[in-house]
Amino acid sequence: MSFELFALNPPILTTQSQVGKGAIIMDVNTLFGIKGKVVLITGGAKGIGRMIAEGFVRNGAKVYISSRDAAACETAALELNALASKTSSGGSAVALPADLSSAEECTRVAQELSKREQKLHVLINNSGATWGAAYDEYPDNAWTKLLTLNLHRVFTLTQALTPLLEKAAKKTSSSSSEGRSDDGVVIDPARVIHIGSIDGIRVPLLPTYAYSASKAGLHHLSRHMAVELGPRGITSNTLACGPFPSKMMAATLRDFGEDIKAANPLGRIGTPEDAAGACLFLASRAGAFVNGATVTLDGGVALVSKI
């Protein structure tokens, strides 16, 4: 077929043999379900991470929560398991505290998870910090802290967990479209989801120089990982989040909350359902062909001109 004819009449892949072994299933539970998946969420005890963790637990995933605040991890796990016990989802939460700004701790988390699980289906890199100060007073150590936690250790942890993620992508099924088909095409890969920021896309109003630079770097790191890890059965995507209720945003929302809402085309800030829903999509069969994307999760505020 010539290129011209191909462009005008692209082949439609509908047969079983063309898309991999197994029937094509379009029901919502199969497309968007994540029941039984093993998930690690860094910074999963508070803020956006906690919102995402609840979404996965309520829908049947086993979620490991990791952050340096051990007490907060334990509390979040107890709360989430209490919620799961009231439903039939089968989800659960496990505290796995660690200081993820440390390379040694990233390695320890990967080793500990490998002792407990044979595979990791979803890694959500959410741990992060911010630092605001006037340009003339912006400290050098802010760059060290934020670039290390928000960017460098994301690579360190993902690299350490790649063998477990690869194992999740190698599941084979001869009776469904999940896993690796006979011709070696991964239909349902493992997922890495990075929590970025619209401040890595636009220039923020606040003087958070190291934060915005680290998030811009994270967005591009995710794209680089998508190319490297895709052939290994792992996708890499980023959510560029706008304002959500969290400890990091507490002071800003307290002082400017109404203005922030008014500036948003949708007239509000993000909710737990928004954060969890976006991650559930990217982690499900419905999001299996999304790779290297930066999804703005902000109600459209990043599109609004400041002039």
**295: nearest Cα among 241, 250, 251, 259:** 241
Point out the catalytic residue in the list 64, 135, 138, 211.
Answer: 211
Annotation marks residue 138 as catalytic: no
Catalytic residues: 211
